[in-house]
Amino acid sequence: MKSSLPTSGQVWPLKNNYKHMKLFVVVFIFHICAVTQSWAQQLPSENKTNKKYQRALDIRSSNPDSSLIYIHQILDWAKANKQTQWLVKSHKLLDELYYYRNEREKGFDHLVEALTISQENSFIEDEIDILYAIGLHYSRSARRANKIVDEEKLRTAIEYHQKAITLAEAHGFPVLASTGHNHSGVCLWRLGELDSALKSFQKSEDYSRAADDSIGLGYTLDYMGGLLDEMGQKSKAKMMLLEALEVRKALKDTFPYAINLNNVGEFYLREKDYNNAKAYLDSSFQLSSSKLYQDLAIHTASLLSDVYENSNRFDLAYGLKKQEIRMMDTLYSINRAKSLIEMEAKYEAAQKDKALLEQKQTIQQKELDLRKRTIWLITSAGLLLLIAGMLYYLFKRKELVAKQAALELKLAEERERANIQEERLRISRELHDNIGSYLTLINASVEQIPEMSPDQITDNLPELQKTLALSMRELRKTVWLLNNQEITMDAIALRLRDFFKPLNQNGTKITVRSDGNTEKTLTDIQATHLFRVIQEAVSNAYKYAKAQHIRILLDAREKICFSISDNGVGFEISSARSGNGLQNMKSRMTELKGEIHVNSTPGNGTTVEGRF
């Protein structure tokens, strides 16, 4: 297209002066708009992005909310500038962040997004790493109570690990391939497929040795030793465990080395080779104690105590048991102190982030003033009104940014206050695990309130109040049990009558009788187990047996005897399934070194009897 503007030396015709002047003004205005827009949307440099990423990485566990703000800023920048590598890094870090926030499903969504980007851009190593992370997500979520596993989730985890292994082998990454075979081996082991797990560990070993990967080899040998021991191949298991020990010793990595010493000691203990068991367990105990690996030291002390007990060194066994108890008390104190320190760290981090956001807001305001002055200097008097309009546009734009920064600051403060409150609630739940179900029910009811109509809220309020009252009664009972070192049988009977008052008020008659030596005392642990067993039996009679009369008898003589009988519908013992309630009662009686029996026939009620 030919330019309509005159070349050097030409003169505009008079009749076209106005037309060409308008064209010149329009072109100049578009040029000013483009320059101004460029200034207003200056992108952060790579250096700034790296600093933000490092900051988010550093505080992801101590202050996840502030870390989340940084990551989303990086993510927005990466999307705007099509920085795919940064998109992958941001999504992977978001997965870690949501893991620390215990919002793993959200983290999983970001892993899937990172995987898609890696596959589209052929980031092979990132793709392998993400596939392993997805597999670990499934294997971790496969855990269930009583050592039961979700087989379907473990199979899915193996599928993702196998995809990553195939990629690693195809592109010549032996260390990554070794890692995948280790992950698959652990899943197969948990599924009980021991031969397949062994083959997977052997492949991992081959890759680690070929790549001279001592770190991966140490893990593999330790896994293989434990697996071979379980398979009954004792000599091979011993060889693997000892070699793993030597590898970790050469690496001078004290914590894994202490674990390996413990594992070798446990192996010898199972083989009843008490001399070798003592040597390795003692080395592990000394190392873990000196390095303050409290959990490992407590575990090893318990094993050493068993060694001494089996060697008839009861004095040393007793001393280690006392030391184990002291360490457990110390660990509890340390954990409480850590909780307080973490809370303080979160508060301090929030204050720092608040200062950073305020500083950012100030800098943005200064940049706004500077850009206004710059624009004023480069404009001409003839375009004063047009430039004034542009300045107004810029002012409004930066005013919006400043308001957004202020809102982000306010949001960060509110989130931090919520975090501190949540931390307090978490510590409370740790101290009162037994009221967790009530609190969960209350929380679920409260969360539904925004979706309820006023009538629904009125209808549900009594049930919510009832649940709250029950949780308070449960809390008072738990605190009473914990605050008394010794409790008489008479006091237990009194507490049972008080605890079951609501059931009496609902039409079920519950009587509690105490015979024998009613002043006989129980320890707080014995009283807690007895109370829980009776509570479970009465609850079953009330909920399932439709009993109208429940009798509780406590008899304290040479042994503590008790019975709970009802006039409910009864059931056939031979055809009844053993549920969690009965299992829990049996488990508590086992800890009391006692016994429990359940007698029932259809139509004649049920009787639960126990003694310890």
Q: Which helix (H) or strand (E) holds 420?
A: helix 384-431
Task: Tell me the pairing of strands 549-556 and 595-600.
Answer: unpaired
pTM: 0.48
The one-letter code for the residue type at 231 is M
Which residue from 581, 587, 584, 586 is spatially nearest to 597, judged by alpha carbons?
A: 586
Place of tokens 């049988």: 489
pLDDT over 90 percentage in the chain: 25
Confidence of residue 442 (pLDDT cuts 50, 70, 90): low
pLDDT for 11 beyond 60: no
| Structure-block tokens of residue 495 | 């507490």
For position 541, what pLDDT does the model report? Answer: 85
Contact 167, 131 (CB under 8 A): yes
Q: Determine phi and psi for 556, rounding to 5 degrees.
A: -110, 105
What is the C-alpha separation between 584 and 434, in angstroms, rounded?
A: 14
What are the boundaries of each domain within the chain? 346-431, 480-611
Of residues 17 and 564, more confidently modeled: 564
Give tens-digit pLDDT for 131-142.
Answer: 999 999 899 888
**Residues in CB range of 585: below 8 A, 6 or more apart:** 532, 533, 536, 537, 596, 608, 610
The per-residue pLDDT of the chain, averaged, comes to 79
Cα 316 off chain centre by: 38
Spatial distance between the Cα atoms of 227 and 269, rounded to a whole number of angstroms: 16
The per-residue pLDDT for 1 is 39
Q: Which two tokens stand for residue 306?
A: 């068993």
User: Look-up: residue for tokens 């099509």?
Assistant: 82
Backbone dihedral region of 570: left (phi > 0), alpha (psi from -120 to 50 degrees) or beta?
left
Highest mean pLDDT pick, 202-216, 320-334, 377-391: 202-216
CB 20 within 8 A of CB 5: yes
Between 63 and 9, the more confident residue is 63
Q: How far apart are CA 397 and CA 403, in angstroms?
A: 10
Please name the amino acid found at residue 344. Answer: E
Q: What value does the mean pLDDT take over residues 442-448?
A: 65
Q: Report DSSP state, residue 149.
A: B
Beta bridge partners of 515: 555
Mean pLDDT confidence for 179-191? 93
Tell me the pLDDT band of 4, cut-offs 50, 70 and 90. very low
> To which residue do tokens 């990086």 refer?
74
Which tokens belong to 525?
Answer: 């642990």
How crowded is residue 409: how many other Cβ atoms within 10 Å of its Cβ?
18
For the residues 7-28, what does the mean pLDDT come to?
46
Which element (helix H / strand E) includes 590? helix 580-591
The CA distances from residue 124 to 53, 96, 119, 120, 234, in Å, are 22, 20, 7, 10, 40
| pLDDT at 337 exceeding the cut of 70 | no
Predicted confidence (pLDDT) per residue in 400-438, tens digit:
888 888 888 788 767 766 654 543 443 343 344 456 545
CA dist 265 and 45 (Å) reads: 55
> What residue type is 311 in one-letter code?
S
Residue the block writes with tokens 């793709």: 127
Residue 215 confidence (pLDDT) above 60: yes
Structure-derived torsion over alpha carbons of residues 204, 207, 213, 217, reported in degrees to the nearest 10: 30
Residues with Cβ < 8 Å from 68, sequence gap 6 or more? 56, 94, 97
| CA gap 98, 60 in Å, rounded | 9
End-to-end CA distance of the chain: 103
Q: Which of 575, 564, 579, 563 is nearest to 601 (CA)?
A: 575
| pLDDT over 60 (residue 22) | no
| Percentages of the chain per state (helix, strand, coil), in multiples of 5 | 75, 5, 15
Q: Is the pLDDT of residue 567 over 50?
A: yes
Residues 6+ apart with CB under 8 A from 356: none
Give the residue among 538, 528, 540 at the shortest CA–CA distance from 591.
Answer: 528
pLDDT computed for residue 6 by the predictor: 40
The answer on pLDDT for 336 being more than 70 is no
Alpha-carbon distance 221 to 206, whole Å? 11
Domain at 480-611: CATH architecture: 2-Layer Sandwich (3.30)
User: In this structure, which amino acid lies at residue 303?
Assistant: L
Which is higher by pLDDT, 426 or 352? 352
Residue with more model confidence, 77 or 348 = 77
Token pair 């009369």 is found at 549
Helix (H) or strand (E) holding 607: strand 606-611
Q: State percent of the chain over pLDDT 70.
A: 77
Instruction: Answer for the pair 280, 268: CB distance below 8 angstroms, yes or no.
Output: yes
Identify the CA nearest to 510 among candidates 525, 523, 499.
499
**pLDDT confidence of residue 7:** 42
- 3-class secondary structure, 401: helix
Looking at residue 485, what is its pLDDT? Answer: 67
3-state secondary structure of 268: helix
Q: What is the Cα gyration radius of the chain?
A: 35
30/8: higher pLDDT: 30
pLDDT band at 166 (very low <50, low <70, confident <90, very high): very high
Pairing of strands 560-566, 606-611: antiparallel
The DSSP symbol for 45 reads P
- Reported as type and span, the H/E element at residue 398 is helix 384-431
Distance CA 126, CA 132 (A): 10
Q: What is the pLDDT of residues 502-561, one digit of tens each?
A: 777 667 888 999 998 888 888 878 888 898 899 888 888 888 888 889 999 999 988 999
Q: How far apart are CA 281 and CA 266, in angstroms?
A: 8
Higher local confidence (pLDDT), 599 or 319: 599
What residues are paired with 516 via a beta bridge? 556
Mean pLDDT for 89-103 is: 83
Query: Residue 189: pLDDT above 90?
Result: yes
